[in-house]
A = this chain, B = another copy of it.
Amino acid sequence: MEDKAQIHEAIKVQGELVRKLKSEKANKEQIDEEVAKLLELKAQLGGDDGKHQFVLKTAKGTRDYNPRQMAIREKVFNTIIGCFKRHGAETIDTPVFELKETLTGKYGEDSKLIYDLKDQGGELLSLRYDLTVPFARYLAMNKITNIKRYHIAKVYRRDNPAMTRGRYREFYQCDFDIAGQYDAMIPDAECLKIVHEILSELELGDFCIKVNDRRILDGMFAVCGVPIDKFRTICSTVDKLDKMAWADVKKEMVNEKGLSEEVADQIGEYVSMQGGMDLAERLLQDQKLSQSKQACAGLSDIKLLFSYLQLLQVTDKVVFDLSLARGLDYYTGVIYEAVLTQTGVGLGSTEAQQEAHAEDSVSVGSVAGGGRYDGLVGMFDPKGRKVPCVGVSIGIERIFSIMEQKAEASAEKVRTTEVQVMVVSAQKNLLQERLKLVSDLWNGGVKAEMMYKKNPKLLSQLQHCEEAGIPLVAILGEQELKDGVVKLRVVSTREEFDICRADLLAEIRRRTSEA
């Protein structure tokens, strides 16, 4: 009973929060989130009352895509897939769940975020956490030693969702990877070229691609005096530098991870360095760092990488940044991450709005990331045979969020269908004639529709065209039928022409191919 009182109290508090947000006209998604919480609380009560209170919502951290969002999603996917295909990639698909043991031991601390399926008899299964581990499993299982493939699919993480910032529990990944034993840095350079192409084409505003190498980080840790068994956990701490100030990162290193102040300070000096090929050259001469063979191998490869990036014309956006660490355990060589440094143009006109957006863009953070993982496939091969891999993953949900904001801010209407012409009737009792005409149009490959009413009003038919952005109307009336013509109306100009039935298909194609 005490429980029930607590829930009542929680409902009261939550209800007030929702009312407050609504009165403040807060972000719709934020309101939806809080309303969902409220409904959940009420449902808990409902159960107690013995009356079934149905909760009408999607699972926590997930969302539906409405037609408008799908239209934007399709546009973004087309750009990304277009780029992957331009670079000659094949595509594969893998199941949404894997044997649980396939995912075990691949994600370090993040393993707790994996969704498991219930044991209903049979195999123990988990939802995929990313596309990289299933890719490595696929390569090992099919004994594939070289492939260039992309894979676009949803992955699942039981993380704390922050949906207003594009962080979901179910989200898309768009991965491009090159597997195979090749000469150093050539496929790696192509991955960066791809990030450059995609972010440029999507017009998300200015961006920066940070590059580093796990071997440089490990060499740096070694020469600074980090014990070898702390390399990965210190690497995770360094990775937080994009969200935390150095002072706090240092505190974590010293207080939580047990480094001495001196060691941490030495690391601090290195991770503040940014530059280009020149920095790699300078560090190759660095008295301390050059003592590490690993660091030198990494630095030489960074030099080589920059020379290729120059030929690929992308050095304008690439920075060698020693603070870049990346969270995942499986990287073995070069790593990279792209961040937006400003949001797209036209988002806000006043200075205050622009400032607000600039802050937003900081919170959006990384929009692409990846690196080299030469050991992962070997973990799946019974004989441990390695297949070197390098790849990149585009952070598509964040890009969707930005594109949706842009679409909302711009006056341009997002069309959710591609209908070219609407078949309408000017008088009653013409359903049969409309069906015949629309059927002819469909058979001729024209995108067409009509209202599912026997006698719709002409005005409501025309109104639908305006709202849905349909460019043409094919009007049937007694007179047109008698004359063997169709009245074709151009919605934007309201011009009307009588077109002979035999010429209609060609005329519609001509008028819609121009658009």
- Chain A interface residues (CB < 8 Å from chain B): 54-60, 62-67, 70, 73-74, 85-99, 101, 115-120, 122-123, 125, 127, 137-138, 140-142, 147-149, 154, 156, 158, 170, 178, 180, 182-183, 186-187, 189-190, 193, 197, 308, 311-313, 380, 382, 416-419, 431-432, 435-436, 439, 442-443, 445-449, 452-454
Contacts and interface: CB of A to CB of B under 8 A. Distances in A.
Given A60-B122, A186-B435, 15 more contacts: A58-B141, A59-B98, A62-B95, A64-B141, A65-B92, A67-B147, A70-B90, A70-B92, A88-B449, A96-B170, A116-B120, A120-B158, A122-B158, A186-B454, A197-B442
Contacts of A94: 58, 64-65
Given A95-B59, A99-B55, A311 B432 contact: yes
A34 to B, nearest CB: 16
A163 to B, nearest CB: 12
Given A92-B65, A99-B57, A193-B442, A119 B120 contact: no
Nearest to A454: B183
Contact of A67 (B137, B149, B443, B452): B149
Nearest to A113: B120
A87 B117 contact: no
A435 B312 contact: yes
B382 A86 contact: no
* Smallest CB-CB A-B distances: 5 pairs: A88-B449, A67-B90, A182-B452, A62-B95, A311-B435
B311 A380 contact: no
B98 A58 contact: yes
A10 to B, nearest CB: 16
A137 to B, nearest CB: 7
A353 B496 CA distance: 58
A137 B63 CA distance: 12
A439 B312 contact: yes
A86 B445 contact: yes
A99 B74 CA distance: 27
Copy count, this protein chain = 2
Contacts of A154: 96
B311 A439 contact: yes
Given A62-B95, A86-B445, A435-B308, A101 B54 contact: yes
B311 A66 contact: no
Given A60-B122, A116-B118, A141-B56, A193 B439 contact: yes
B56 A382 contact: yes
A194 B186 CA distance: 48
Contacts of A90: 67, 70, 416-417
A116 B58 CA distance: 15
Contact of A64 (B93, B178, B186): B93
A122 B54 CA distance: 17
A86 B452 contact: no
A120 B115 contact: yes
Of A73, A86, A193, A418, chain B has the most CB atoms within 10 Å of the CB of A86
24 contacts: A54-B101, A55-B101, A56-B140, A56-B382, A57-B141, A58-B98, A60-B122, A67-B91, A67-B92, A70-B90, A70-B92, A85-B417, A86-B445, A87-B447, A88-B417, A88-B419, A115-B117, A115-B120, A118-B118, A183-B452, A186-B431, A190-B452, A311-B435, A312-B435
A115 B57 CA distance: 19
A170 B118 CA distance: 16
A117 B432 CA distance: 50
Contact of A453 (B93, B158, B183): B183
B85 A65 contact: no
